[in-house]
């Protein structure tokens, strides 16, 4: 708390408000002392007027008047004469004399501080102007004990009130700072942390929304920096992995052309018109090979463009993959099924999603064929509020330990003899570009299952 921006701002606010209250405190206490002494002068004058009206009063009444006035002696100067009106024994010599006829502010503050600092009971003389000019001046003698006690009590009330005001003010400023400054800063921090987890995911780049000009400029600068960094990271990764990139494309191109070659062999070896109808499939495979070759040239020159996201029919893509792999089977030992609901749509790049599913199904088919046993492959999908989950499961022999240890690593995760492990690396890279994940759900003697998770949300502001 104390190490946070809002916490330190709260402490500084309390300190500054208390400092301002201290600067107000001294003049306020000085004014209280002045009013206290003036009230004593006024009460002493009223008591003396009673004596002047009666001319002669007994000693008991005189003591009562002095006690009510809170003074020891009262002297009036009237008609150029100084007259002791009321008097009583003075317990100690007069310590100081204070003239209340137009004193300066500094003098009042200095005298007030002196009273607060001196804890002893002193006898002081106070001189002032009579009320309504009833004479030339009035002079009283009084004790400082009651004055000091009243000043201390007043000072405590002022300090308590100051503490309450400073605390309330600091709380309001604290809430204002958290709302208008700290909360937007925390939002920027959350975006930075989210971006740091996956800089290649363009959805994590911050979108400026701050209403404060300086914070919005900071968000715009961060957005520009993230865009440049994402572009630089992608370009650097592409250049650093140029050799692997060519191998990846060659891997896909080899598989596509192998399928095309199998189609061509069947067409050449059979005179059945039904078989010759496979010709369009052959042309489609060759077209895919041409498109992939063109992408290879673009990949070598610059970074691969991000997926062109659109709403595509997953069932149609899955059926194309299944039909293509069925035609590539060497015998009937591998059964491939499509369990994707009719009408299901996903937000993805259709061509890249085809490559991902084709790699996964092809790997499963080749693993079953290499085992020499019959097996089954199922391509299924489900949808919920958060996204889509696509699974490719088989009943093959499972992945080897080495393949599991280096899963999704090019040239290290091959699970069959002569394999490079590029198929899974390509698939994982393409899924990651969609903001999704490709994970191994299970593998073992009873089969292997991979899952693709594609999110529905477009990353924006992280909730508080």
| Per-residue pLDDT tens over the stretch 32-42 | 999 999 888 88
Tell me the C-alpha to C-alpha distance, in Å, between residue 347 and each of 313, 356, 374, 385.
Answer: 9, 15, 35, 14
Helix (H, G, I), strand (E, B) or coil at 454: strand
State how far the Cα of 127 lies from the Cα of 41, in Å rounded to an integer. 8
Residue with tokens 């924006």: 460
Which of 47-51, 130-134, 243-247, 316-320 bottoms out in mean pLDDT, i.e. has the lowest? 243-247
Q: Determine the average pLDDT of the residues in 232-240.
A: 68
State how far the Cα of 417 lies from the Cα of 378, in Å rounded to an integer. 24
Residue with tokens 């693709």: 452
What class does CATH assign to 308-464?
A: alpha beta
b/e burial code for range 217-233 (CB count within 10 A of at least 16 → b): ebbeebeeebeeebeee
Residue with tokens 């595509």: 312
Angle at the Cα of 235 from the Cα atoms of 230 and 239, rounded to 5 degrees = 150
| Nearest CA among 50, 80, 54 for reference residue 65 | 50
Model pLDDT for residues 136-186, shown as the tens digit of each residue? 788 889 999 999 999 999 988 888 887 787 778 777 877 887 777 777 778
Per the document, the length of the chain is 464
Are 309 and 434 a contacting pair, CB within 8 Å?
Answer: yes
Confidence of residue 5 (pLDDT cuts 50, 70, 90): low
Q: Quick one: pLDDT at residue 356? A: 93
Helix (H, G, I), strand (E, B) or coil at 119: coil
198, with CB counted inside 10 A (0-12, 13-18, 19+), is: middle
DSSP state, residue 455: E
43-52, 164-173, 261-270: which is most confident: 164-173
- Give the chain's mean pLDDT: 79
Helix (H, G, I), strand (E, B) or coil at 123: strand
The full set of domain ranges for the chain reads 5-165, 198-232, 241-305, 308-464
pLDDT of residue 462 exceeding 50, the answer is no
Query: Which residues make Cβ contacts (< 8 Å) with residue 22, sequence separation at least 6?
Result: 162
- 334: tokens are 């591998």
pTM of the model: 0.43
pLDDT of residue 220 exceeding 80, the answer is yes
Tell me the C-alpha to C-alpha distance, in Å, between residue 84 and each of 56, 66, 74.
Answer: 13, 13, 6
Residue with tokens 């997926």: 307
pLDDT of residue 267 exceeding 80, the answer is no
State how far the Cα of 340 lies from the Cα of 350, in Å rounded to an integer. 15
Helix (H, G, I), strand (E, B) or coil at 340: coil
Task: Label the pairing between strands 334-339 and 94-99.
Answer: unpaired
| Nearest CA among 251, 281, 357 for reference residue 312 | 357
Confidence of residue 461 (pLDDT cuts 50, 70, 90): very low
- Of 278 and 69, which is predicted with more confidence? 69
| Nearest CA among 156, 221, 235 for reference residue 192 | 221
First to last CA, the chain: 18
State how far the Cα of 236 lies from the Cα of 241, in Å rounded to an integer. 8
Task: Label the pairing between strands 447-455 and 387-394.
Answer: antiparallel
Q: Percent helix, strand and coil across the chain, each rounded to 5?
A: 60, 15, 25
Q: How many CB atoms lie within 10 A of CB 112?
A: 22
């Amino acid at each position: 708390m104390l190490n946070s921006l809002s916490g330190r701002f709260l402490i500084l606010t309390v300190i500054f408000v208390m400092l301002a209250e201290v600067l107000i405190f001294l003049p306020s206490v000085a004014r209280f002392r002045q009013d206290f002494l003036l009230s004593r002068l006024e009460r002493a004058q009223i008591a003396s007027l009673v004596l002047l009206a009666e001319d002669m009063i007994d000693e008991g009444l005189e003591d009562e008047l002095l006690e009510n006035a809170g003074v020891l002696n009262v002297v009036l100067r009237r008609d150029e004469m100084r007259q002791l009106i009321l008097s009583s024994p003075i317990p100690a010599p007069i310590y100081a004399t204070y003239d209340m006829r137009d004193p300066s502010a500094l003098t009042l503050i200095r005298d007030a501080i002196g009273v607060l600092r001196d804890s002893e009971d002193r006898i002081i003389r106070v001189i002032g102007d009579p009320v309504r000019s009833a004479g030339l001046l009035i002079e009283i003698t009084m004790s400082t004990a009651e004055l000091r006690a009243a000043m201390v009590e007043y000072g405590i009330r002022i300090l308590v009130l100051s503490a309450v005001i400073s605390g309330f003010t600091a709380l309001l400023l604290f809430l204002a700072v958290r709302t208008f400054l700290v909360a937007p800063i925390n939002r920027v921090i959350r975006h930075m942390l989210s971006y740091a987890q996956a800089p290649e995911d363009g959805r994590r780049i911050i979108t400026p929304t701050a209403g404060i000009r300086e914070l919005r400029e900071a968000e715009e600068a961060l957005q520009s920096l993230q865009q440049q960094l994402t572009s630089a990271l992608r370009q650097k990764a592409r250049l650093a992995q140029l050799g692997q990139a060519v191998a990846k494309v060659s891997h896909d191109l080899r598989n596509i052309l192998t399928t095309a070659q199998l189609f061509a062999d069947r067409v050449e070896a059979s005179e059945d018109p039904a078989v010759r109808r496979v010709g369009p499939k052959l042309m489609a495979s060759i077209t895919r090979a041409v498109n992939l070759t063109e992408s290879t040239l673009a990949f070598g020159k610059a970074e691969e463009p991000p997926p062109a996201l659109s709403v595509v029919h997953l069932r149609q893509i899955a059926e194309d993959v299944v039909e293509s792999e069925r035609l590539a089977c060497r015998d009937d030992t591998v059964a491939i099924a499509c369990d994707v609901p009719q009408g299901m749509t996903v937000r993805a790049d259709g061509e890249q999603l085809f490559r991902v599913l084709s790699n996964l199904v092809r790997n499963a088919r080749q693993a079953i064929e290499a085992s020499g046993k019959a097996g089954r492959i199922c391509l299924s999908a489900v949808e919920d509020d958060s996204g889509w989950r696509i699974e490719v499961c088989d009943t093959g022999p499972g992945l080897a330990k080495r393949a599991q240890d280096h899963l999704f690593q090019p040239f290290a995760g091959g699970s069959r003899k002569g394999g490079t492990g590029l198929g899974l690396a390509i698939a994982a890279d393409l899924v990651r570009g969609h903001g999704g994940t490709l994970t191994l759900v299970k593998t073992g003697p009873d089969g292997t299952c991979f899952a693709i998770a594609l999110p529905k949300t477009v990353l924006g502001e992280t909730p508080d």
